Structure 1
Amino acid sequence: MTTFYASKARKWVLVGTSLAMLVPILAACSDGGSNDPNNRRTLRIGTMYGSSSDESYFRQQYTDLFEFANSNIDIEIVPAIDYTESQFNTAEENQNNNNDPIKKVKELMTGANPIDVMILDSGVLGSLIQDNLLMPLDAKMKEDKIDPNDYVPAVIDGIKAQGDDQLYALAPTYTPSALFYNKKIFSKMNVSPPQENITWDQLFNLARQLKSGEGKDATFGFSFNQWGYSDPYNDMINYAAPLQLKLFDSNAEKMTVNTPQWENVWTTISQLYKDHILPTTEDLQIDYNNVDNTRYNPFQQQTFFNGKSAMVIANYSFINDIDSYNKNYQKFEGMEALDWDVVQVPTFSEAPGVSSYIYMSSLAGINAKAPNPDDAWKFVKFMNGKDWGKLKSRSSYEMPALKEFIKVKDGMSYNIDAFTTTKPILNSNTYAEQQLYTERPNLYQIQSLAQTEFNKVIQNEMTVKEALAEFETKGNDLLQKIKLNPSGPMEGVGGDVYGGGGAIEIKPMID
């Protein structure tokens, strides 16, 4: 209930703030004749997902102020996938619908009535650029004297890297992560805190130095997330993503896991769990007999707040949690103020400055076949301009892409630059991979098999070499069965044969 009201409150704050700033923004954005009522036109904006029930929230976020400033332009929101259309379908019906999001986006952009602007995430951008479906923005930015250097380098460089050093989209905000660390634990253990541009190997070496105690008195060197524990295999896949290692070949016919590179990744992460440098589920069991049930404490099970993890990767909004905690910690028995700071998320020396923990989900690009390209650019420019950027800078959940609006939260002190330099992971084969998984949904069973084999390593049932060899053998057999039966039920495949495993959310990994 608390989360529900907090969410509602944030939305009303957004609306109130928007209205308060409406007059100066209108003055800045209106251009005389552009609001001629006799020159009325429609701008069609595509989204990846949506429905009529949540359209009002999308409009509050992106289009309402633009429509106020351009009263002769009507905005039409067009989702590529309306999830309400399949909401009540059976699993078989949804499977037959073939709702490939990239395919649906391309249909919006190339159909009989193409959209003008597409709001998309970074996983789709590369595919649209490869198919020449987006208009380059560099010349338009230069003409309007918009300097790319005004934006966070990680955002601009990340977008350019998918477009042969050209900008095919802009993003007003993004969601960066950083490595948060507890200064008190470092001081207590007489260990120097993490430095800028830290690598994963350096992080893990630090984490080993910070592990101390046993049982309920244990302190762990590092956690992949603020809760301390998720799924070891999923943690490993996110960690290794910038290395672009693949589970199987591009035809999904042969496994590619029994390699020195995969062996090194499996060994590194599994050993950290076995040595309890990373906490396991058992390590984080709470003695509920000692929990104060008379007071709501959202920090009780979070390892960074209860002093169980010296370092943790968390996104920008984690600062809000820290602020709330430090203002209220005295109400919670046994908890103390958090003395902390941040550095950039670790990266690999083989892929410096690139991380899977950086996200861009509000990219705006202009359809190369836009019927209304001038208004499309006007909207993209407005959405990524300084007036709108000033509004978005009030969000404490995303970071503005314009550098001038990035600032330390009032009353706090930390290394704000830690959030601005690391680029999102790039994968030019995203569309081909997603297509293969769409055509052969049973390929996700390979990932469940991987999870099962990795858990055997952590539980000391197999060595890494043995598990990878078994994974290769079973995986090759499973790939052939999937080739013959891409989507239907597969007799003899599942928990009894391959160990099953719950559904896990990871990126497709093929060669």
Structure 2
Amino acid sequence: MNNKRMSGMRLRKFTIVSLTLALLVGLLAACSSGSDESAEKRVLRIGVLYGGSDNEPYFRQQYTDMYEMSHPNIEFEIVGAINYDEQRFEQTDSTKPVPQADPYEKMKEMLNGQNPVDVVVLDYNMLRRFTQDNLLQPLDPLVAQDKFDLSDYVPTVIEGIKSAGDGTLYALTPTFSSSALFYNKKLFSDAGVTPPTDKMQWSEVLNVARQVAKGEGEDRNFGFSFNRWASDGFNNSQVYSQALQLKMFDDKGEKMLVNSDQWEEVWSTVASLEKDAITPTQEFMNKLYEKQSAEGGGNDPFYGDLFIKGKVAMTIGDYGYINELKKASDNASKIKDFEMVDWDVVTVPVSPTDPDVGGSISLSQLMGINSKAQNDKDAWDFIKYSNSKEWAKLKSRSLYEMVARKEFLTPIGGMQYNLEAFTSLKPLPPSSTDSEKIYRENPGIWEAQQPGYELFQEVVKGTKTAREALAEWETKGNAVLERIKNNPTGGGVTDGGGGIEIMPVPR
């Protein structure tokens, strides 16, 4: 009897273990997207922009380790176009500018070399140039062939990618980051003003901000902040101008573009917001900190964050800000004289010329197949896996990134808010030119921005009109651009206008 009992226990144990293994194998098989089960070892080369001893382990942990577990016949090689380790230890002449590698050209070398990578991971700002140079395979035929379901991809991701490829899908990304306009329900209710809605134009949002701003001195409630932290007006004008896709100088870095009607509207608007105390200023923040210090205030968990403090009616924040709001709500009872803000979100303000596009959207892990891939079959299988529903389900727990599939996008911590505010706008269209090239080749070009700071303060003070200040910035900036063009490694020169000496930016 004992032998029979022991045999039965062994049989039950064996059955349980077998079922467990079967379930695990089934799960891994489901995640494998129907990959080739051949035992033949194959190499899949993945190209990323920045490699090195620190970046490679992180990338493997995030993207390839799980795939390798279910595909033991696949060996990954992670190839970096630019190696941080080499740059770190390279000895350079401190008297000469450090040569900056061209990221796009380095990526092209990686795709076109004797041993080209199969998969390339790139940022959205490079995607249009990659497609125009025929460096990527279109994915639409592969999607159709395998009936790979993309119907639940959020518009921000799928439409943004297609727009960069003139309607063709050349890459996929499993995650993205986005921002929205956070607003304080109570401040709008107290002011008797209708809260903002999705796809409001910038002018409409700023008009609403004027209506809801109330109070005097330290009791002032502001209508709007360009970000969570109070900033000076000049930086706010830069944020606003970038959202409207305005440029400071031309693509060659030879001519300032700030003396225009569009820039005049930006400077006049932002200066007026500051003068009328619609946006918080650094001066206000300094007074607030001085008061807290004088009163012997203890630790402030929301240091500088006026929206959580209930002092700003609207602010632009990224998706991760929701986690900060949740932590504040969870610990509100521990904080003296603190009332948790009642908030919701709508889309960031849009331009009247392109109401379906918003700023502050990042598609930074786009995965495409090299046109010259030696292992394009496994490349597509890996991209399918990384963009599968199973992968999205596992990664949907992130508090700072959003998964691209709507099915697994749920509000953080069971909270209720307008989740579509983060998913409905397309990112700003990527450029067909290398917008960063001018900064690499002319490290001192930021000097052309320096006169703008002081001139903007004069607009706020009323000593110059916005157009007068912009015209002067154009003159001074052009002098800097001309000097850099003729003598890129030269020393400081006077601007020839106001007698201000412009020195090279420290490198």
Q: TM-score, normalised by structure 1?
A: 0.88
The reply on whether 1:329 has 2:332 as its aligned counterpart is yes
Q: Deviations over 1:235-267 (max 9, x none)?
A: 322322243322233333222221111111111
Q: Deviations over 1:5-32 (max 9, x none)?
A: xxxxxxxxxxxxxxxx976541213478
Give the aligned partner of residue 255 of structure 2: 254
Q: Equivalent residue of 1:370, what SS?
A: coil
Shift of 1:132: 1.1
Alpha-carbon distance between aligned partners in 2 of 1:234 and 1:22, rounded to the nearest angstrom: 53
Count of matched residue positions in the alignment of Structure 1 and Structure 2: 478
Matches within 5 A, 1:84-95: 84-88=85-89, 92=94, 95=97
Structure 1 residues 336, 373: closer, same or farther in 2, change over 3 A? same
With 281-290 and 155-164 compared, the bigger mean Cα shift is at: 281-290
The one of 196, 199, 204 equivalent to 1:197 is 199
Shift of 1:399: 1.0
CA contact (8 A) 2:48 2:81 kept: yes
The one of 384, 393, 400 equivalent to 1:381 is 384
CA contact (8 A) 2:264 2:466 kept: yes
Give the aligned partner of residue 289 of structure 1: 294
Matches within 5 A, 1:423-438: 423-431=426-434, 433-438=435-440
Alpha-carbon distance between aligned partners in 2 of 1:138 and 1:401, rounded to the nearest angstrom: 18
CA contact (8 A) 1:449 1:498 kept: no
Shift of 1:414: 0.9
Structure 1 residues 32, 472: closer, same or farther in 2, change over 3 A? closer
Matches within 5 A, 1:262-277: 262-277=263-278
Alpha-carbon distance between aligned partners in 1 of 2:502 and 2:314, rounded to the nearest angstrom: 33
CA contact (8 A) 1:300 1:306 kept: no
Give the aligned partner of residue 477 of structure 2: 475
Structure 1 residues 500, 204: closer, same or farther in 2, change over 3 A? farther
CA contact (8 A) 1:212 1:219 kept: yes
Give the aligned partner of residue 119 of structure 1: 121
CA contact (8 A) 1:100 1:438 kept: yes
CA contact (8 A) 1:34 1:72 kept: no
Shift of 1:386: 0.8
Q: In structure 1, list runs of 5 or more residues that go unmatched.
A: 1-20, 504-511
CA contact (8 A) 1:116 1:369 kept: yes
Q: In structure 2, list runs of 5 or more residues that go unmatched.
A: 1-22
Alpha-carbon RMSD across the aligned residues, in angstroms, is 2.5
Amino acid at match of 2:270: I
Structure 1 residues 260, 275: closer, same or farther in 2, change over 3 A? same
CA contact (8 A) 1:173 1:360 kept: yes
Alpha-carbon distance between aligned partners in 2 of 1:219 and 1:500, rounded to the nearest angstrom: 40
Amino acid at match of 1:407: T
Matches within 5 A, 1:92-111: 92=94, 95-111=97-113
Q: Equivalent residue of 2:252, what SS?
A: coil
Q: Equivalent residue of 2:162, what SS?
A: helix
Choose 1 or 2 for highest CA Rg. 2
Shift of 1:100: 1.9
Amino acid at match of 1:365: G
With 51-60 and 177-186 compared, the bigger mean Cα shift is at: 51-60
The one of 384, 390, 412 equivalent to 1:409 is 412
CA contact (8 A) 1:343 1:415 kept: yes
CA contact (8 A) 1:449 1:501 kept: no
Alpha-carbon distance between aligned partners in 1 of 2:189 and 2:157, rounded to the nearest angstrom: 35
Give the aligned partner of residue 10 of structure 1: none
Alpha-carbon distance between aligned partners in 1 of 2:205 and 2:410, rounded to the nearest angstrom: 27
Q: TM-score, normalised by structure 2?
A: 0.88
The reply on whether 1:358 has 2:361 as its aligned counterpart is yes
Amino acid at match of 1:441: P
Shift of 1:478: 1.6
CA contact (8 A) 2:32 2:385 kept: no
Structure 1 residues 435, 410: closer, same or farther in 2, change over 3 A? closer
Q: Deviations over 1:160-209 (max 9, x none)?
A: 11111111111111111111111111111111111222111111011111
Give the aligned partner of residue 181 of structure 2: 179
The one of 447, 462, 471 equivalent to 1:445 is 447
Amino acid at match of 1:290: E
